[in-house]
């Protein structure tokens, strides 16, 4: 973080906090981001502690209480097997979040080195790698997922693989273009002049300075993975029953839309809220991770043009 | 510009080559045998061998690939193992439906996003702007199949305004033109809402950009009508990124319809691939993925061309 602090004119806003605390303060100042963080933490909490805080087993069939509406016993009602919908949502969150995380990890493990290499080395290697990434980008993401999961069989590994592959070029491109900019910075030349080796240069100095676009892109990949996992499950190609998942529960709820609308509203709500929460986080991380925006905010008015990004 | 275009067009078959080899490898090296699925367990080894030979499944994968590409160059997409019809015939049945759905989603997205993005940019930081931003945030967050279910619940089940199915079946509940359009409404809205969010956001930010330009002040100082300034000077310039995004998203829409087709029972390309995957119908998977990837690439190239045409400053 030393680089960031050095480029920040301290006179504008005297601040002796660390970069991390600055970023967190910026993040919490933004109400939408705070709300997003709260919702996300709530869902994570629900997912992690589901077996202890919800007194129902998500796979326990109780036909005597099937299709009951929301009540004090069952906050979100019960499904056609009498299973508690809230319990299923909480356990489904485990699948969604873990698929999201492992997809991010998988895509980053390949996408980040490819992008760094492509951007830092440049030349012919850059050309070959980027054309290869272009080829992967032409795969319709969901259909590739359908093909891979449908052919290999559905479990957490294949779903992660299928969703991660299409995100590799996305991350590689972001990392590459950020690397191209950072590569030309004076401090990189200075570090090289000090005798730093290429590995150290790339993985310590370049990587550290492209973290903010990378982190923002990772939040986008994370929310896209959650939606994609739900889509695959909805098509019957996600994790298999009896493991609860939002997408599959949504698919099953189709048959009971008239009698039990809460069955489809619950997973719909959970998916929308978690994706929105992650997107809010990403949007405000974009601002708060960029040290220049701390200064800009202090100098100019509060109104800064919203950076636009599309998925 | 022309040399750039030629370069892109030469690149296209190369990229498609990578795409087809990849899909070929995925298909051939995964468990599941189309012959076994089709003939079942009770079958003679002879019948099995005959079918295998007919679809060249007895050859090594690279030979299969080369033969497939050879046929492809002669316009032969092969035959479906499952349905025994030419893949080209299936494409001719499915592609128009997918294109119509993508087009209707696109129309919905454009009709909603242009006024929304325009108003949001003009009334920046007012409640209208916040409302528009809220809408885009929702659009980004709601998956199309979840939105489809909400729409079905409200407009089909509760209000009975629209049918749940009907595209491609020929059976229509309403007479005349409305009978043709009606079944497309809900799928188009469900499919296109993400695009309305993308377009609104894009138009808003590019409009804000344009409104701050010097030529806007000049137009104002010349005493032009505010509406002329808005439409001719502002909107026209703000539309440059919008139009290219339109082309890119159209290519994208064809590839992401599968969940919507599944819900509304639409016989489009996505559902064809879905059932082909389940049945290990290799020729169908290969052909359809190839066509969708080609559409996606073409859309991107068209976007680049449009960019050059609309904005004379861009030179490749």
Asked whether the predicted pLDDT for residue B1 surpasses 70, the reply is: no
Q: Looking at residues A272-297, what average pLDDT do you find?
A: 74
Mean pLDDT of chain B: 82
Mean pLDDT of chain A: 78
Closest Cα of chain B to A114: distance in Å?
Answer: 18
Q: Round to whole Å and give the CA distance between B308 and A244.
A: 50
Q: Looking at residues A2-23, what average pLDDT do you find?
A: 52
C-alpha distances out from residue A243 to A5, A87, A89, A150, B201, Å: 48, 12, 11, 18, 38
Radius of gyration, CA atoms only, chain A: 23
Contact assignment for A141 to B255 by CB distance below 8 Å: yes
Instruction: Say which of B125, B285, B296 has its CB closest to residue A138.
Output: B296
Per-residue pLDDT at A24? 67
Contact assignment for A264 to B153 by CB distance below 8 Å: yes
CB A91 within 8 A of CB A48: no
Contact assignment for A276 to B141 by CB distance below 8 Å: yes
| E strand or H helix that includes residue A218 | helix A211-234
Per-residue pLDDT at A8? 45
- In this prediction, residue A3 has a pLDDT band, given cuts at 50, 70 and 90, of very low
More confident residue, A294 or B307: B307
pLDDT in tens, B149-203: 889 888 888 887 777 776 666 555 666 777 777 788 889 999 999 999 999 989 9
Is this prediction's ipTM beyond 0.85?
no
Asked whether the predicted pLDDT for residue A13 surpasses 60, the reply is: no
- In this prediction, residue B243 has a pLDDT band, given cuts at 50, 70 and 90, of confident
- CATH superfamily, domain at B95-315: MetI-like (1.10.3720.10)
Q: Round to whole Å and give the CA distance between A166 and A145.
A: 9
Contact assignment for A140 to B292 by CB distance below 8 Å: yes
Asked whether the predicted pLDDT for residue B45 surpasses 60, the reply is: yes
| A302 contacts chain B (CB < 8 A) | no
- In this prediction, residue A197 has a pLDDT band, given cuts at 50, 70 and 90, of confident
| A276 contacts chain B (CB < 8 A) | yes
Asked whether the predicted pLDDT for residue A126 surpasses 80, the reply is: yes
The ranges of chain B annotated as CATH 1.10.3720.10 are: 95-315
Contact assignment for A138 to B273 by CB distance below 8 Å: no
- In this prediction, residue A294 has a pLDDT band, given cuts at 50, 70 and 90, of low
Per-residue pLDDT at A112? 92
Report which of A239, A213, A286, A202 is spatially closest to residue A33, judged by C-alpha positions. A286
What do you get for the CA distance between the two ends of chain A, in Å? Answer: 29
Per-residue pLDDT at B239? 82
Contact assignment for B274 to A271 by CB distance below 8 Å: no
Report which of A73, A102, A101 is spatially closest to residue A87, judged by C-alpha positions. A73
Contact assignment for B143 to A148 by CB distance below 8 Å: no
Contact assignment for A135 to B259 by CB distance below 8 Å: no
Query: In chain B, which residues have their Cβ closer than 8 Å to the Cβ of A267?
Result: 146
CB B61 within 8 A of CB B68: no
Enter the tokens of residue B172. Answer: 């229509």
Closest Cα of chain A to B254: distance in Å?
Answer: 8
- In this prediction, residue B103 has a pLDDT band, given cuts at 50, 70 and 90, of very high
Residue with tokens 């309305």: B196
Per-residue pLDDT at A14? 47
Contact assignment for A151 to B140 by CB distance below 8 Å: no
| A31 contacts chain B (CB < 8 A) | no
- CATH superfamily, domain at A31-44+76-295: MetI-like (1.10.3720.10)
| A115 contacts chain B (CB < 8 A) | no
| A139 contacts chain B (CB < 8 A) | yes
pLDDT in tens, A134-193: 777 777 778 888 888 888 877 888 889 888 988 999 899 899 988 888 888 888 888 888
Query: In chain A, which residues have their Cβ closer than 8 Å to the Cβ of B287?
Result: none
């Amino acid at each position: 973080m030393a680089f960031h602090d050095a480029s920040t004119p301290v006179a504008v806003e005297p601040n002796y906090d660390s970069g991390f605390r600055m970023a967190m303060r910026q993040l919490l100042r933004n109400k939408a981001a705070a709300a997003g963080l709260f919702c996300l933490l709530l869902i994570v909490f629900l997912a992690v502690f589901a077996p202890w805080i919800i007194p129902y087993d998500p796979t326990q069939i109780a036909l005597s209480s099937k299709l009951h509406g929301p009540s004090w016993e069952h906050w979100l009602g019960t499904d056609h097997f009498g299973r508690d919908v809230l319990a299923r949502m909480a356990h489904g969150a485990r699948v969604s979040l873990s698929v999201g995380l492992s997809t991010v990890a998988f895509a980053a493990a390949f996408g980040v080195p490819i992008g760094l290499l492509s951007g830092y080395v440049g030349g012919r290697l850059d050309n070959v790698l980027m054309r290869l990434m272009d080829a992967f980008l032409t795969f319709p993401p969901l259909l590739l997922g359908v093909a891979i999961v449908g052919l290999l069989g559905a479990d957490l590994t294949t779903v992660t693989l299928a969703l991660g592959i299409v995100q590799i070029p996305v991350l590689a491109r972001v990392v590459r273009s950020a690397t191209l900019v950072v590569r030309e910075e004076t401090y990189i030349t200075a570090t090289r002049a000090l005798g730093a080796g290429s590995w150290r240069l790339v993985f310590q100095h370049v990587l550290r300075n492209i973290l903010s676009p990378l982190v923002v892109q990772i939040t986008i990949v994370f929310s896209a993975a959650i939606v994609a996992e739900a889509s695959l499950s909805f098509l019957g190609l996600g994790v298999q029953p009896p493991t609860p998942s939002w997408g599959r529960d949504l698919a099953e709820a189709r048959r009971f839309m008239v009698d039990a609308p809460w069955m489809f509203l619950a997973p719909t709500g959970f998916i929308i809220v978690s994706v929105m929460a992650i997107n809010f986080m990403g949007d405000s991380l974009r601002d708060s991770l960029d040290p220049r925006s701390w200064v800009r905010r202090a100098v100019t008015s509060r109104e800064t043009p919203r950076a636009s990004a599309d998925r | 510009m022309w040399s750039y275009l030629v370069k892109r067009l030469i690149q296209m078959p190369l990229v498609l080559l990578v795409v087809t080899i990849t899909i070929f490898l995925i298909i051939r090296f995964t468990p599941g045998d189309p012959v076994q699925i089709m003939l079942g367990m009770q079958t003679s080894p002879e019948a099995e061998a005959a079918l295998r030979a007919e679809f060249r499944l007895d050859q090594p994968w690279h030979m299969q690939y080369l033969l497939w590409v050879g046929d492809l160059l002669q316009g032969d997409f092969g035959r479906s193992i499952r349905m025994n019809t030419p893949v080209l015939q299936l494409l001719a049945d499915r592609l128009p439906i997918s294109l119509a759905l993508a087009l209707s989603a696109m129309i919905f997205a454009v009709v909603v996003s242009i006024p929304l993005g325009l108003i949001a940019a003009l009334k920046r930081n007012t409640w209208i702007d916040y409302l528009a931003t809220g809408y885009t945030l929702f659009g980004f967050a709601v998956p199309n199949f979840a939105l489809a279910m909400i729409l079905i619940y409200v407009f089909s089940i509760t209000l009975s305004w629209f049918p749940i199915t009907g595209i491609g079946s020929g059976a229509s509940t309403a007479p005349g033109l409305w009978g043709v359009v009606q079944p497309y409404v809900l799928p188009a809205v469900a499919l296109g809402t993400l695009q309305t969010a993308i377009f609104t956001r894009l138009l808003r930010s590019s409009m804000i950009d344009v409104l701050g330009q010097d030529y806007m002040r000049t137009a104002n100082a010349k005493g032009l009508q505010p509406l002329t300034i808005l439409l001719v000077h502002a909107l026209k310039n703000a539309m440059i990124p919008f139009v290219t995004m339109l082309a890119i998203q159209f290519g994208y829409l064809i590839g992401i319809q599968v969940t919507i087709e599944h819900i509304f029972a639409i016989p489009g390309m996505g559902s064809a691939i879905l059932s082909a995957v389940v049945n290990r119908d290799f020729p169908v998977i290969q052909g359809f993925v190839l066509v969708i990837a080609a559409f996606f690439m073409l859309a991107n190239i068209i976007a680049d061309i449009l960019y050059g045409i609309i904005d004379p400053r861009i030179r490749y």
